[in-house]
Amino acid sequence: MNQQHSQELFREAQRYLPGGVDSPVRAFKTVGGTPPFIVKGQGARMFDADGNEFIDYVCSWGPLIMGHSHPQVVEALKRAVERGTSFGAPTELEITLARMISTAMPSIQMLRFVNSGTEAAMTALRLARAYTKRDMIVKFAGGYHGHSDGLLAKAGSGVATLGIPDSPGVPSGYARNTLTALYNDAKAVEQLFERYSEEIAAVIVEPVAANMGVVPPQPGFLESLRSLTSRFGSLLIFDEVITGFRVAYGGAQALYSITPDLTCLGKIIGGGLPVGAYGGRRDIMEMMAPVGPVYQAGTLSGNPIAMTAGIETLKLLNQPGVYNQLENKTASLEKGIGTAAAKAGIRIYISRTASLLTVFFTADQVVDYESAKRANTEEFNRFFHVLLTEGIYWPPSQFEAAFVSFAHSDEDIQLTIRVIGKALSLLKK
């Protein structure tokens, strides 16, 4: 694969941007090599500065569930841009998107738009602390909720990829208020509640963990979190930044029939533009300024461009058959990879929920961060590079989900399976 232009751009980027990127995993540090510099995306494909073409399984890390530059989204955005990009005053578009979200997720009676998932999770915690008048929170090892202080403890995503134990720069006072447990270990959470019963404001959880690779909740886990938080007067926060409108139109809370007190959203609801949101019960949300005393604000929050991309994306998703097709595409990818691995004589563990999928290079079941970390990352890295060379843009980390979009055709999936088969048989040698 010719990467001359990307190599030059990567060198230049590193002069001005730490690691040459604006978000760490993009730099390919753990897989090695040069990240392709992208010039264009179309449907399921991306094209780089050297003219290489890739079938994309990153999809901007989740937002592009309808694929790159979907014509309906692009058309609506063009019209919106001509009317102005931001007013710092209310628009009807905010009501439209808020109503669509609240209808899809009835637990969200009210919400507020922000500009990233990080902001959403950070503010949901502030609100939970104000509401319960408690300071501590429980999160899960390998769970990622953005990069705010206090949520970086044992974090997933890039923190897991780079093996950073806990980020410097976080005051010890913040970290002290963050308790951690292993995902799928409700017993450990119960013990934390027994020990700190009057101090835990909230449990924040990815209802399907997707930042240590995909790790679905085991039966009863989310139910236990719901009943423990209720019993101890604490709030249950679902971080559905990835799972919202991904695992079902109504998110993981619809898929598993659990009602959280607060929900964090991002990624898909921005349709590829920077958006996050937090929302939930009206009595809790009305603690936010200007109704209540809890402060949070944003210059570009709810801007018409981002709202438009979100509205059009949700419109496309809210049509019959969309989630069935996503399920079928990803199920055939999963099945094809399983068959290819058996044929190559390689033991892997494929983890999938809806259109989220991870190929773990371990023979054992992955149920939490400890078992995820047993994966052989060197094998993953070799696998990754065969795929990239053959035109498959897989997430450049063992600990991230691959995202299948509606734009992936059956031919794309079959081609991907063939390349994966080749990569797995090369690994065996």
Ligand X SMILES: *Cc1c(COP(=O)(O)O)cnc(C)c1O
Query: Is residue 354 close enough to count as binding ligand X by CB under 6 A?
Result: no
Query: Is residue 340 close enough to count as binding ligand X by CB under 6 A?
Result: no
Helix and strand totals (H; E) in the chain: 15, 14
Query: Is residue 246 close enough to count as binding ligand X by CB under 6 A?
Result: no
Stretch of residues binding ligand X (CB under 6 A), selected from 235-243, 250-258, 283-291, 346-354: 235-243
Query: Is residue 419 close enough to count as binding ligand X by CB under 6 A?
Result: no
Q: Which helix (H) or strand (E) holds 55?
A: strand 53-56
Binder among 48, 239, 379, 412 for ligand X (CB under 6 A): 239
Report, in Å, the least distance between residue 369 CB and ligand X: 14
User: Of these residues, 144, 249, 349, 393, which one is catalytic?
Assistant: 144
Bin 344: left if φ > 0, else alpha if -120 < ψ < 50, else beta. alpha
29 given a catalytic annotation: no
Q: Which of residues 259-278 bind ligand X (CB under 6 A)?
A: 266, 276
Strand duo 110-114 + 136-140: pairing:
unpaired
Closer residue to ligand X (CB): 146 or 272:
146
Choose among 52, 138, 31, 146: nearest CA to 394.
Answer: 31
CA dist list (Å): 18 to 24, 60, 159, 162: 9, 20, 16, 15
Closer residue to ligand X (CB): 1 or 300:
300
Report, in Å, the least distance between residue 363 CB and ligand X: 27
Q: Are 302 and 91 in contact (CB under 8 A)?
A: yes
Size of the site for ligand X (CB under 6 A): 14
Report, in Å, the least distance between residue 288 CB and ligand X: 19
Query: Is residue 313 close enough to count as binding ligand X by CB under 6 A?
Result: no
x/- letters, 273..302, toward ligand X (CB under 6 A): ---x--------------------------
Cβ neighbourhood burial of 161 (10 Å; 0-12, 13-18, 19+):
buried
Q: Are 116 and 241 in contact (CB under 8 A)?
A: no
User: Of these residues, 185, 239, 368, 412, which one is catalytic?
Assistant: 239
d(CA 9, CA 37): 7
x/- letters, 84..123, toward ligand X (CB under 6 A): --------------------------------xxx--x--
Stretch of residues binding ligand X (CB under 6 A), selected from 5-13, 140-148, 295-303, 308-316: 140-148
**What is the gyration radius of the CA atoms in the chain, in angstroms?**
21
Binder among 222, 241, 288, 407 for ligand X (CB under 6 A): 241
Closer residue to ligand X (CB): 210 or 288:
210
Bin 6: left if φ > 0, else alpha if -120 < ψ < 50, else beta. alpha
Query: Is residue 379 close enough to count as binding ligand X by CB under 6 A?
Result: no
Stretch of residues binding ligand X (CB under 6 A), selected from 138-146, 165-173, 197-205, 338-346: 138-146
239 given a catalytic annotation: yes
Q: Cβ neighbours of residue 311 under 8 Å, at least 6 residues apart?
A: 76, 93, 96, 97, 100, 271
Binder among 56, 94, 185, 206 for ligand X (CB under 6 A): 206
149 given a catalytic annotation: no
x/- letters, 156..195, toward ligand X (CB under 6 A): ----------------------------------------
Closer residue to ligand X (CB): 134 or 145:
145
Q: For helices 304-317 and 92-104, what crossing angle results, to 10°?
A: 30
Binder among 57, 144, 278, 349 for ligand X (CB under 6 A): 144
d(CA 407, CA 401): 17
User: Of these residues, 267, 329, 368, 412, which one is catalytic?
Assistant: 267
Assign 357 to helix, strand or coil.
strand
Choose among 368, 372, 414, 367: nearest CA to 397.
Answer: 372
**The sheet that has 349-353: what strands, in order across it?**
349-353, 356-360, 402-403
Closer residue to ligand X (CB): 115 or 371:
115
d(CA 121, CA 119): 6
Query: Is residue 371 close enough to count as binding ligand X by CB under 6 A?
Result: no
d(CA 350, CA 362): 9
Choose among 125, 99, 126: nearest CA to 113.
Answer: 99
Give the residue closest to ligand X by C-beta. 117
Kindly list the catalytic residues: 144, 239, 267
Q: Applying CB under 6 A, which residues contact ligand X?
A: 116-118, 121, 144-146, 206, 211, 239, 241-242, 266, 276
